[in-house]
Amino acid sequence: MIQSLLSRRAAAVPVLAALFLTLALEAHAEPPSVPTHRIDGTLVFDGIPPADPTLASQVERYEEWRQATFLDWLPDGSMLVATSFGGQSEVHRVASPLGMREQVTFGDGSVLEARAPQSGAGFVFVRQTNGYPQLFEYSGPGAARQLTQGNYLHGSPVWSHDGKRVAFYGTDRTGANDDIYVANIPAATRPRLAIAGSTGDWRPLDWSQDDSKLLLLNTVSPEKSALYVAQVATGALTPVAIPESRITAASFAADGVGFCLISNAQSDFEQLLYFNPITHVTRRVSADVPWDVETFAVSAGGHYVAYVVNDDGQSHLAVLDTLRNLEFKPPGLQDGRISGIGFDDKGEKLAFSYESARSPRDVYVYDVAQGTVQRWTHSEIGPLDPANLAAAQLVHYPTWDRFGLSRRTLSAYVYLPRGPSPCPVLIILPGGQNLHSQFRPGWNAFIQFIVNDLGYAVIAPNVRGSSGYGNTFRALDGGRLRDDAVRDVGALLVWIGLQPGLDSHRVAVMGHAYGGFLALASLATYSDHLQGAIDVAGIANLVDFVGNSPAAERAQRAAEFGNVQDTDMRAFLDRISPLDNVALIHRPVFIVQGLDAPGSRAADSQQLVWRLRSQGNQAWYLSATDAGNDLTTPADRQAYLETAAQFLRMLAK
């Protein structure tokens, strides 16, 4: 059955014939009629039926929630948290567990980061201002001084130990390269260019104990990173001679000699390691588990080391007592996601952000000595009943190939409705702007709406190429293996057909960016087994995506997808691109695209709409003139959610 389903493309209309058919339609056909066309501010609704006010109000109920994210500890034992509500985040101060949140920043655009020094009353924060992240200094109520200007990127602020200087990255010099700047806060002078970056993404990570050096991370590609130690006074760079690998985080070790880092230098997975630059010995610090370590924190003096493991999408937090060689597990944490961990200045309490499929993100504190966990914030979910929210259930399904002697299995998270069965199914495919994004069971109010109000079962698989499952798994969709990820979707369709509570005749797919490519490619390959697709800024033309990439990303995308200058590779990418397989799509498609997107993505999406309609297919098209490949404004997001709900309700009938 699997082989029969997965051979669908081989029996489909040849791509060459489809291409000639499309060209003929473009040359001779009149432009297709569009049922409706309306403009609402920056949004254009094209071929989309009028909105249903009742359905829109149902969607709005699921957006009246807020969440809290741990940012940093303050020297007095209180903390900074980011509170998100109404599509914007601001910094709040919380002085005690479940204490009142005191808002301390005010402005337009969300606050993305905030960091406090080890002494003093102020902090620095990064706010999205007119589409660009800018660095600000907060020194007291109503006193927020902007440290950076212009249409440039800024971020990753790191305080020196003496609390006088902040290092951060910025693109001010060329508009493209990441450089490292240092701002002298007491002097109130303009930030100084300290280190001129070159290829790749440069980020400051840590100051040496005497504040004379900076530890820098240079990420050249998703698979290759390097650490450097920079002399702050001169800008001189010294590479840290660790084996070539992917590094995601690092710091100076408490012994003043080595470095702590998360790297895959010794494993198929990313592990927490200690590297001694004198002996060149690397040893593993985290437990020996076949999963990635995703973040870590070291207490003052190095007594405790905390780290978070990504265990098949769930987060597991561990704290090491380096003096007694013991490991502790914070009690009472259910399955969910943990992020943003950090010790207080005394090194006794560890704060972290935690969320689950049924609860928004909130801040908790683990007292290591006492072995207790306290909740510091409690975020509301609006008018929703927590008892009715769906849990994310982890399942594994067999795919079409083998891993060793056994059939390879893939992970998926399943959300089941309480209504009648068999129920319709929505497959949410991984991807996003990060091609290797992994689906994680965190808070997603729209998934809850789809399950509870529309009655869909939602299945979110991690097909080959997803992060979190090791280097080998990440590479399984590279180059000419790209179509194998689509075959994983076919295997999931087989699994769905074997589940009595799921209606295999009412299955839809959706995805964002690379996930949009997977959704469109799946619809072209398995059109007889799918009802429709939602494509949010998807990659419709792989050749254009690689060839028209920004210069800084072109080499990386070519390594991932293939060299478009190679004739055979270009032909392969054309063959599997959704834009060249429109003749195989016979189901409705909802396409969402920001018109300010870089490269050719917007033009390719518009071309996809035209070709679908030229062959008589139903194509809804929502575009936003003020957005790129991500819909970030509340108005854009709300319009997308309400239209997606309308589209899914239509498919489920």
Q: 294 falls in which pLDDT band (50, 70, 90)?
A: very high
Q: Looking at the structure, do residues 457 and 390 belong to the same domain, yes or no?
A: yes
The whole-number average pLDDT for the span 474-499 is: 96
- 43 belongs to a structural domain: yes
Single out the residue in 210, 239, 268 at which a domain terminates.
239
Q: What pLDDT score was predicted for residue 8? A: 42
Backbone angles phi, psi at 387, to 5 degrees: -65, -20
DSSP string, 249-291: EEEE-TTSS-EEEEE-TTSSS-EEEEEETTTTEEEE-S---SS
Question: Closest Cα to residue 379, out of 72, 83, 73, 61?
Answer: 83
Given this model, what pLDDT does residue 630 score?
Answer: 84
Q: Are both 485 and 583 inside the same structural domain?
A: yes
Q: Half-sphere exposure of 267 toward its Cβ, with a 13 Å CA cutoff? A: 23
Q: Which two tokens stand for residue 352?
A: 């972290």
Q: What angle do CA 642, 646, 647 make, to 5 degrees?
A: 115
What confidence score (pLDDT) does residue 67 get?
Answer: 94
In a domain, 83, yes or no: no
pLDDT surpassing 70 at residue 646: yes
Cβ atoms of residues 366 and 354 within 8 Å: no
Give me the pLDDT at residue 152, please: 95
Sheet holding 67-73, edge to edge: 67-73, 79-85, 88-94, 102-103
Residue 291 lies in a domain: no
**430, 506: one domain:** yes
142, pLDDT greater than 90: no
Res 513 pLDDT > 50: yes
The radius of gyration of the chain's CA atoms, rounded to the nearest angstrom, is 25
Sign of CA dihedral 354, 355, 361, 364: negative
Q: What's the whole-number mean pLDDT along residues 565-574?
A: 95
Q: What is the CATH number of the domain that holds 144?
A: 2.120.10.30
User: Are 565 and 631 in the same domain?
Assistant: yes
pLDDT classification of 35: cutoffs 50, 70, 90: low
Which tens digits make up the pLDDT trace of 182-231?
999 999 899 999 999 888 899 999 999 999 999 999 998 878 899 999 99
Joined together, the tokens standing for residue 334 give 């259910």
* C-alpha to C-alpha distance for 157 and 135, rounded to whole angstroms: 8
Window from 133-142, 392-401, 494-503, 639-648 with minimum mean pLDDT: 133-142
18 and 139 together in one domain: no
Angle at 217 between CA 215 and CA 220, to 5 degrees: 160
Same domain, 109 and 47: no
Give the model confidence (pLDDT) of 575-610 as tens digits: 999 999 999 999 999 999 999 887 788 999 999 999
Task: Note whether 470 and 593 are same-domain residues.
Answer: yes
Domain assignment present for residue 401? The answer is: yes
Q: How far apart are CA 560 and CA 422, in angstroms?
A: 39
Amino acid, single-letter form, for residue 39: I
Do residues 537 and 449 share a domain? yes
390 in Cβ contact with 449 (< 8 Å): no
Tokens for 476? Answer: 């399984």
Residues 411-425: what's their mean pLDDT? 95
Among the three residues 203, 224, 239, which one is the final residue of a domain in this structure? 239
Residues 23 and 133 in one domain: no
> Are 34 and 158 members of one domain?
no
Sequence-distant (6+) residues with CB within 8 A of 179 are 169, 170, 171, 172, 173, 193, 194, 195, 196, 197, 202
| Confidence (pLDDT) at 546 | 92
Give Cα separations from 559 to 219, 222, 367, 368, 477 (angstroms). 15, 10, 45, 44, 12
Q: Where are the beta strands (DSSP E) in 164-212?
A: 165-170, 179-184, 192-195, 201-207
Mean pLDDT value across the chain: 91
Cα distance between residue 444 and residue 423, in whole Å: 20
Query: CA–CA separation, 240 vs 210, rounded Å?
Result: 19
**Long-range interactions of 53-61: CB distance < 8 A, separation 24+:** 55/642, 55/645, 55/646, 55/649, 56/642, 56/645, 58/449, 58/453, 58/645, 59/446, 59/449, 59/638, 59/641, 59/642, 59/645, 60/638, 61/382, 61/383, 61/384, 61/449
Between CA 326 and CA 370 the distance in angstroms is 15
Q: Which residues pair with 54 in a beta bridge?
A: none
Phi, psi for 358 (deg, rounded to 5): -110, 5
Nearest to 316 by CA among 376, 360, 268, 272: 272
Distance of CA 39 to the CA centre of its chain: 30
Asked if residue 621 lies in contact with residue 647, where contact means CB atoms within 8 angstroms, the answer is: no
pLDDT for 1 equals: 43
CB 628 within 8 A of CB 596: yes
Residues in the chain: 653
pLDDT, mean of residues 228-255: 94
Asked if pLDDT for residue 32 goes beyond 70, the answer is no
Q: Is 433 helix (H, G, I), strand (E, B) or coil?
A: coil
29 and 615 Cβ atoms separated by less than 8 Å:
no
Residue 190: how many other CB atoms lie within 10 Å: 12
- Find the distance separating the first CA and the last CA of the chain, reported in whole Å: 27
CA distances from 489 to 262, 485, 521, 525, 568 (A): 32, 7, 10, 10, 26
Give percent of the chain with pLDDT exceeding 70.
94
CA distance 366 to 373: 4
Q: Report how far residue 610's alpha carbon sits from residue 522's, in angstroms, rounded to the nearest whole number.
A: 20
Task: Please check the confidence at residue 23 and state whether its pLDDT lies above 50.
Answer: no
Confidence of residue 13 (pLDDT cuts 50, 70, 90): very low
pLDDT of residue 601: 85
149 in the same domain as 32: no
What is the Cα–Cα distance from 551 to 154, expressed in whole angstroms? 20
Residue 247 falls inside a structural domain: no
Residue 138 structural domain: 105-239
Torsion sign (Cα): 490, 494, 500, 504: positive
Q: Report how many domains make up the chain.
A: 2
Tell me how far CA of residue 499 lies from CA of 342, 408, 436, 510, in angstroms: 43, 19, 28, 21
User: Has residue 467 been placed in a domain?
Assistant: yes
CATH number at residue 408: 3.40.50.1820
Predicted TM-score of the model (pTM): 0.91
Is residue 275, in this structure, part of any structural domain at all? no
- Percent of the chain clearing pLDDT 90 (strictly above): 80
**By C-alpha distance, which of 177, 467, 424 is closest to 293?**
467
Residue 378 and residue 361: Cα distance in Å, rounded?
A: 9
Cβ distance 462 to 514 under 8 Å? no
**Pair 648, 542 in one domain:** yes
Q: Residue 160 in contact with residue 168, Cβ under 8 Å?
A: no
Paired strand residues for 237: 230
Domain endpoint, select from 239, 257, 284: 239
DSSP state, 640?
A: H
For range 372-379, the mean pLDDT: 96
- Rounded distance between C-alpha atoms, residue 95 and residue 107, angstroms: 23
Q: Is residue 396 part of a domain?
A: yes
